[in-house]
């Protein structure tokens, strides 16, 4: 069946056409080998060479219209008389008029087939963004501590008070570490680092940047020591550091005591803020079993970051706010397709295997139901007892 030829809706007559195709080959020639190797890179784009013409009293205006269509940018639909509709782009064309053929204009057009621009899909690495913001926040905390901490130009008592404050902070980190189910090797390393810092503080009190770096490193190790990623037990340990209430400080009158109080508060703030930063960092490596679990941690960390940032200096405020944004985006994106929590109530006492089969069509998921609901007798799940179950997203 022949079709009326046109391009961009401009009709014309076709006298002849040629279709050119083939394969995209890369020829490899090697020394001492007579036969080359042709690497096939896929089908070559087809080229449609069309010889067409226009005639009639209005052929000049129609020829100008066709030429405008051919020169317009971008691909368009070619209705080929023999091949039907093709999506093509114009490679080149020529226009010919002669006195011998009055009232007629000829075109030779080379069309090449084209498709949509197939660019690689880009996916934002939201977990990496959390880590990058956490790194920046850590640097900001270190600089803020260094601006506040000072023991020089004050009495020895200020120095001794600062040592006590740092050791108190180290002790709180050790206590938090005991809450985390750390591997024996990790626990031993962390406690060794804490002991070393406890002793080194006497030489670090005059170097606030180094002192802050050591404290930050200790908290970072706590956050990353659960098998190389921040586990749920490490999250709980970090939460014990950042969720504790900040003791109210009564500012004394003398300059030395004012600085001692500022040093003590600087240590407290650094430990709390650093623990929160590491908890946010760790949220990007956690495996969530349900959307509800992910959303609960996201909301908890977001609230803690909001509260902590509200009383922080401007630079720390901005760093914690940026970290909050990255954390919320990451957990929301990774948790979007996770199963939701729901409830299911058996009408009678039945085995957990039957419950799993009724809910999921898979008796193999009975173990999850038993563990999630702490069912004491898996062979007899009581009827009428609402069960917490995962509902596929």
pLDDT band of 252, cuts 50, 70, 90: low
- The answer as to whether 270 is a domain residue is yes
- The answer as to whether 120 is a domain residue is no
What values do phi and psi take at 47, rounded to 5?
-120, 130
Give the span between the Cα atoms of 29 and 37, in whole angstroms. Answer: 6
Domain identity same for 211 and 359: no
- The answer as to whether 118 is a domain residue is no
Domain identity same for 104 and 146: no
Domain identity same for 345 and 301: no
CA angle 140, 188, 164 (to 5 degrees): 55
Task: Assess contact for 301 and 294: CB atoms under 8 A.
Answer: no
- The answer as to whether 119 is a domain residue is no
- The answer as to whether 121 is a domain residue is no
> Among 308, 335, 362, which residue terminates a domain?
335
pLDDT band of 245, cuts 50, 70, 90: low
- The answer as to whether 1 is a domain residue is no
Tally of domains within the chain:
3
CA angle 204, 207, 211 (to 5 degrees): 60
Task: Assess contact for 48 and 89: CB atoms under 8 A.
Answer: no
- The answer as to whether 152 is a domain residue is yes
Domain identity same for 280 and 240: yes
SS (H, E, C) 158-226: HHHHHHHHHHHHHHHHHHHHCCCCCCHHHHHHHHHHHHHHHHHHHHHCCCHHHHHHHHHHHHHHHHHCC
pLDDT of residue 229: 45
Domain identity same for 205 and 228: yes
Domain identity same for 279 and 157: yes
Domain identity same for 301 and 385: no
pLDDT of residue 226: 47
CA angle 94, 98, 100 (to 5 degrees): 145
pLDDT digits (tens, 9 = 90+) for 305-326: 999 999 999 999 999 999 999 9
Residue 343 has a CB neighbour count (10 Å cut-off) of 9
Domain identity same for 89 and 162: no
pLDDT digits (tens, 9 = 90+) for 322-375: 999 999 999 998 887 787 777 888 888 888 888 888 877 788 888 888 888 888
- The answer as to whether 168 is a domain residue is yes
Show the DSSP H helices in the chain as ranges. 59-71, 126-148, 156-177, 184-204, 208-224, 232-242, 255-283, 291-310, 314-335, 352-360, 366-373
pLDDT band of 384, cuts 50, 70, 90: confident
> Among 80, 113, 146, which residue terminates a domain?
113
Domain identity same for 149 and 250: yes
Domain identity same for 218 and 316: yes
Percent of the chain predicted with pLDDT > 70: 94
pLDDT band of 230, cuts 50, 70, 90: very low
CATH number of the domain at 370, please.
3.10.350
Domain identity same for 290 and 193: yes
Owning domain of residue 357: 340-391
- SS3 (DSSP) at 293: helix
Domain identity same for 108 and 209: no
Give the span between the Cα atoms of 17 and 88, in whole angstroms. Answer: 15
CATH number of the domain at 27, please.
2.40.30.200
């Amino acid at each position: 069946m022949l079709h009326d030829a046109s391009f961009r809706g401009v009709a014309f007559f076709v006298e002849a056409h040629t279709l050119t195709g083939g394969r995209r080959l890369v020829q490899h020639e090697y020394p001492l080998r007579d036969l080359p190797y042709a690497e096939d890179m896929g089908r070559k784009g087809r080229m449609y060479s069309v010889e067409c013409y226009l005639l009639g009293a209005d052929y000049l205006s129609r020829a100008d219209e066709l030429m405008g269509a051919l020169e317009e940018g971008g691909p368009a639909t070619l209705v080929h008389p023999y091949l039907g509709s093709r999506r093509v782009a114009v490679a080149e064309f020529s226009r010919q008029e002669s006195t011998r053929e009055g009232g007629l204009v000829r075109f030779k057009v080379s069309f090449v087939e084209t498709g949509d621009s197939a660019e690689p899909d880009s996916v934002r690495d939201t977990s990496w963004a959390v880590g990058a913001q956490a790194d920046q926040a850590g640097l900001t905390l270190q600089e803020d501590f260094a601006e506040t901490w000072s023991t020089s130009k004050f009495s020895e008592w200020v120095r001794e008070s600062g040592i006590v404050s740092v050791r108190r902070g180290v002790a709180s980190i050790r206590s938090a570490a005991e809450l985390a189910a750390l591997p024996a090797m990790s626990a031993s390393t962390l406690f060794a680092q804490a002991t070393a810092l406890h002793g080194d503080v006497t030489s670090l009190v005059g170097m606030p940047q180094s002192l802050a770096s050591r404290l930050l490193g200790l908290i970072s190790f706590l956050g990353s020591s659960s098998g190389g990623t921040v586990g749920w037990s490490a999250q709980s340990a970090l939460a014990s550091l950042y969720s504790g209430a900040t003791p109210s400080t009564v500012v004394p009158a003398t300059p030395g005591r004012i600085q001692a109080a500022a040093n003590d508060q600087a240590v407290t703030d650094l430990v709390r803020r650093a623990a929160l930063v590491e908890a946010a960092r760790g949220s990007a490596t956690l495996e969530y079993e349900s959307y509800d679990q992910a959303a609960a941690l996201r909301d908890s960390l977001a609230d803690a970051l909001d509260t902590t940032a509200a009383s922080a200096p401007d630079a720390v405020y901005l760093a914690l706010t940026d970290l909050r944004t990255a954390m919320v985006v990451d957990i929301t994106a990774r948790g979007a397709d996770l199963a939701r929590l729901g409830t299911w109530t058996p009408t009678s006492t039945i085995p957990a295997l039957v419950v799993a089969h009724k809910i999921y069509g898979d008796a193999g998921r009975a173990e999850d139901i038993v563990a999630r609901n702490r069912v004491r007798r898996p062979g007899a799940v009581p009827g009428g007892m609402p069960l917490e179950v995962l509902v596929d997203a």
